[in-house]
A and B are shown apart, each in its own frame.
Chain A
Amino acid sequence: MNELQYRVNLVVQVFQSALAVATGLVGLWLVFSQTDDLVGWGAPELLAVMGVHIAMGGVIQMVIEPNMAKLMDDVRRGTLDYVLTKPADSQALVSMREVRIWSFVDVVVGAIVLGVAVVNLERSVGWIDAAGFAAALLLGAIMIYCFWLILTTTAFRLVRVENILELFQGVYQAGRWPVAIYPFWLRTSLTFLVPLAFAITVPAESLTSRLTPGTFVLASSFTAALLIVTRIVWRVGLRYYSGASA
């Protein structure tokens, strides 16, 4: 019976992902019925962005958001103590204990869309581009993780989980398109405030042979900086938490 329930869940997930892809394709098609390219990005290239967007969204919903939601819940209920008394690094523990398996469907769907896009690209993808893509994806995912942990650690007291999740989901939609289309201030926010540019556009840039070494260096150093800041924020947050609950 359990197996059956899993199967129903899977079907529902696949169906929803399919609908989302269909909607995205309609959007793309509408745009390209009016113009040949968008800020220099052609149709298969925009499709690649969409693929990365969906896949990265799957990763976020699979391994990042569940942990953050649980963290907020633990702090609210005081059960974070159970984590803190374990003989492992607390930040690692709170970041890796939950997985939402069903979101893997989105990762697969995104990969398929990406595959279709890559096949249709004008310029084929070389080794360097592919390597850059993988590296950029990893860096981008780490940056999103840092963003989420910083946000959770600092904001949980003010706002509920659901609100932050909703807000993020809204903003995340901006990553559907290459950040170049956005006005300067928005572009900057989507790069350094909510690192969607690094998570989605930059990997897509690599795949479409647009990535400059400068951008890559920026991504790497920004990731390193974020990791350090995240660590500091986490330690401070812990001290505050222990102090508050004592």
Chain B
Amino acid sequence: MIAYTRMYAGWARVAILEQFQYRVANYFYMIGMVAEPVIYLVVWSTVAEQRGGAVGGFTAGDLAAYYIVWTLVRNMNIVLTPYAWEQRIKEGELVTDLLRPVHPVHRDLAYFGGWKLVVIVMWLPIAAVLTWIFRPSLDPSAAEIGLFAVALWGGFFVRFFALWALGLVTLWTTRVSALFELYFTAELLLSGRLVPLSLMPTWVQTLADFLPFQWAFQFPIETLIGRRSTAEIWLGIGMQALWTCVAIGVTAVLWRRGTRRFAAVGG
């Protein structure tokens, strides 16, 4: 156990050191990424204005709050892209991973975890600027912030394992882009990334309840902007834990089968 903690700390440290070296690239990425929610925000604020102030229960201030917190949640749930596996296999990084006496998922989890710490710090000035421009109605209590922190990392874990599992499909075939793109499109629409799910028709909301997407996106956001009761938040964190376990299970199975196949077919 201690050995694992030390290993995680080691990887997280490497991540922080490396990503700090790439801080310019990181900042460019984060700034470019802000364009997406800002556009959604402006569009929906315009709609709200035309409807006399609110749409789907969101005022302009509510929308601003939603999409500004969105930027943090989004940064937190960026994880290992499933497309990375193609390179890992081709460039032989997978071989290096297989030679180590630890499961590579630990390395990725620890690395991204460490990276997220850098991301959180870098996000703060961006959030300040956005708040100054768009004036969100945001007033969370200390308890809500605490719960938000839990939900934020919960979202990270759910999406991390979900996409790690998805990426393992590459061990079977390299023709994966169609599958990945479909996944991402579904996620865009059903996670609360494009719009808060309450603005979607009811049948879409029901469908989204059976999928893991919203637990990495909408749920953490709503935890902070005060749209959920404490009981609902605890329930949601439970759902995050549940979906994380499911994803871990799928990952374990796919990894065992996939590496066996990889070893049979040849790297």
Report which A residues bind B (CB closer than 8 A): 8, 12, 15-16, 19, 22-23, 26-27, 30-31, 33-35, 37-39, 158-160, 162-164, 166-171, 173-174, 176-177, 181-183, 186
Knowing A34-B55, A35-B50, A160-B25, say if A15 contacts B178 (CB, 8 Å). Answer: yes
Q: Which one of B35-43, B95-103, B123-131 is at the A interface?
A: B35-43
Min CB distance B28 to A, Å, is: 4
User: Do A39 and B39 have beta carbons less than 8 Å apart?
Assistant: no
User: Do B35 and A174 have beta carbons less than 8 Å apart?
Assistant: yes
User: Do B39 and A177 have beta carbons less than 8 Å apart?
Assistant: yes
User: Do A163 and B29 have beta carbons less than 8 Å apart?
Assistant: yes
Min CB distance A103 to B, Å, is: 16
Min CB distance A172 to B, Å, is: 8
Which residue from A35, A169, A171 sits with its C-beta under 8 Å from B47? A35
Question: In the bound complex, what is the Cα–Cα distance between A87 and B177 (angstroms)?
Answer: 43
Knowing A30-B199, A34-B199, A163-B25, say if A39 contacts B32 (CB, 8 Å). Answer: no
User: Do A31 and B47 have beta carbons less than 8 Å apart?
Assistant: yes
User: Do A167 and B39 have beta carbons less than 8 Å apart?
Assistant: no
28 contacts between A and B (CB under 8 A): A8-B175, A15-B178, A19-B181, A23-B185, A23-B194, A26-B189, A26-B194, A30-B199, A31-B47, A34-B199, A35-B51, A37-B50, A38-B46, A38-B47, A159-B24, A160-B25, A163-B29, A166-B29, A167-B31, A167-B32, A168-B32, A170-B36, A171-B32, A173-B36, A174-B35, A176-B39, A177-B39, A182-B42
Question: In the bound complex, what is the Cα–Cα distance between A54 and B199 (angstroms)?
Answer: 25
Which residue from B32, B175, B201 sits with its C-beta under 8 Å from A170? B32
Neighbouring B residues of A27 by C-beta, 8 Å: 194
Which residue from A19, A163, A186 sits with its C-beta under 8 Å from B42? A186
The 5 closest A-B CB pairs, nearest first, are A170-B32, A170-B35, A167-B32, A163-B28, A181-B46
Question: In the bound complex, what is the Cα–Cα distance between A12 and B178 (angstroms)?
Answer: 7
B78 in the interface, Cβ–Cβ < 8 Å? no
Q: Restricting to B141-198, which residues have a CB under 8 Å from any CB of A? A: 175, 177-178, 181-182, 185, 188-189, 194-195
User: Do B43 and A177 have beta carbons less than 8 Å apart?
Assistant: yes
User: Do B51 and A34 have beta carbons less than 8 Å apart?
Assistant: yes
Neighbouring A residues of B28 by C-beta, 8 Å: 159, 163-164, 166-167
Neighbouring B residues of A19 by C-beta, 8 Å: 181-182, 185
Min CB distance B190 to A, Å, is: 11
User: Do A38 and B32 have beta carbons less than 8 Å apart?
Assistant: no
